[in-house]
Amino acid sequence: MRARKSQRKAGSKPNLIQSKLQVNNGSKSNKIVKCDKCEMSYSSTSIEDRAIHEKYHTLQLHGRKWSPNWGSIVYTERNHSKTVHLSRSTGTITPLNSSPLKKSSPSITHQEEKIVYVRPDKSNGEVRAMTEIMTLVNNELNAPHDENVIWNSTTEEKGKAFVYIRNDRAVGIIIIENLYGGNGKTSSRGRWMVYDSRRLVQNVYPDFKIGISRIWVCRTARKLGIATKLIDVARENIVYGEVIPRYQVAWSQPTDSGGKLASKYNGIMHKSGKLLLPVYI
């Protein structure tokens, strides 16, 4: 659905009379509109397209419903009083828990935030829910739909999926890939990427222990530190009894926003003055 290029001006309102005339002329009455909230382009005259948009729209803005029974809890946060968020747009400091979600749900008095690990061997629906989220997330990131083997294998642990839950909704996800083999040896997948040019540094193969295959946060929960929290908690829970250091985390195909996050999280300044990001291929 991302590939469908809008033939008309984004946001143009459907004109029912015109579409009727088009039907009479025997041509397809596709009215392509672009939602200014989730940025999806779709045909407003197609029932199927509208249903896909509705699902995508809700996930993009508010995340997906998540059962309290799904996932194994690796982190909980109940008291946010000390955590503050500096808003870039207004310069004001607001508590982390005064999220847009809460504003739209005034009935919720108790707010719990937690991060869970998705268990591939459970048939209670958590794997299916995670797979569904990933289908829509990959569409947004324009990423291939090939990451599920990393986290949902019941025979071989290539990595793990973690989900950030707020008010029974999955508002963020991270998929972590192990970059070392069973013998403890690191793979040769690590590289340095020059942040400005997105070019890989040639002939240098740094050792990184884990890779971020996918990371995503729904729109109403962005800029609250959720992505950083997901990486931090994943570093502590990917290998039993071990905390992977921040500099051992590599990024896969960083998007513009992913690159920005990477540069702040663990980019390093080379002596040439160029900022380098740890990545893997």
Please give the residue ranges that form the binding site for Zn ion (CB under 5 A): 35, 37-38, 57
Q: Residue 49 CB, nearest distance to Zn ion (Å)?
A: 12
Element (DSSP H or E) covering residue 58: helix 47-62
Q: Residue 35 CB, nearest distance to Zn ion (Å)?
A: 3
Its sign, for the CA torsion 228, 241, 115, 187, is positive
Residues paired with residue 43 on neighbouring β-strands, in sequence order: 32
Cα–Cα distance between 99 and 111 in angstroms, integer? 11
Task: Please identify, using beta-carbon distances, which residue of 138 and 237 lies nearer to Zn ion.
Answer: 138
Q: Residue 230 CB, nearest distance to Zn ion (Å)?
A: 24
The answer for residues whose C-beta is within 8 angstroms of residue 222's C-beta and 6 or more apart is: none
Task: Please identify, using beta-carbon distances, which residue of 6 and 228 lies nearer to Zn ion.
Answer: 6
Task: Please identify, using beta-carbon distances, which residue of 37 and 65 lies nearer to Zn ion.
Answer: 37
Task: Please identify, using beta-carbon distances, which residue of 35 and 275 lies nearer to Zn ion.
Answer: 35
Q: Residue 54 CB, nearest distance to Zn ion (Å)?
A: 8
Q: Residue 40 CB, nearest distance to Zn ion (Å)?
A: 5
The answer for residues whose C-beta is within 8 angstroms of residue 118's C-beta and 6 or more apart is: 70, 71, 126, 127, 130, 151, 152, 160, 161, 162, 163
**Nearest-CB residue for Zn ion:** 35
Cα–Cα distance between 86 and 15 in angstroms, integer? 43
Its sign, for the CA torsion 119, 121, 125, 129, is positive
Q: Residue 132 CB, nearest distance to Zn ion (Å)?
A: 17
Task: Please identify, using beta-carbon distances, which residue of 57 and 209 lies nearer to Zn ion.
Answer: 57
Cα–Cα distance between 273 and 268 in angstroms, integer? 10
Task: Please identify, using beta-carbon distances, which residue of 35 and 143 lies nearer to Zn ion.
Answer: 35
Cα–Cα distance between 216 and 66 in angstroms, integer? 16
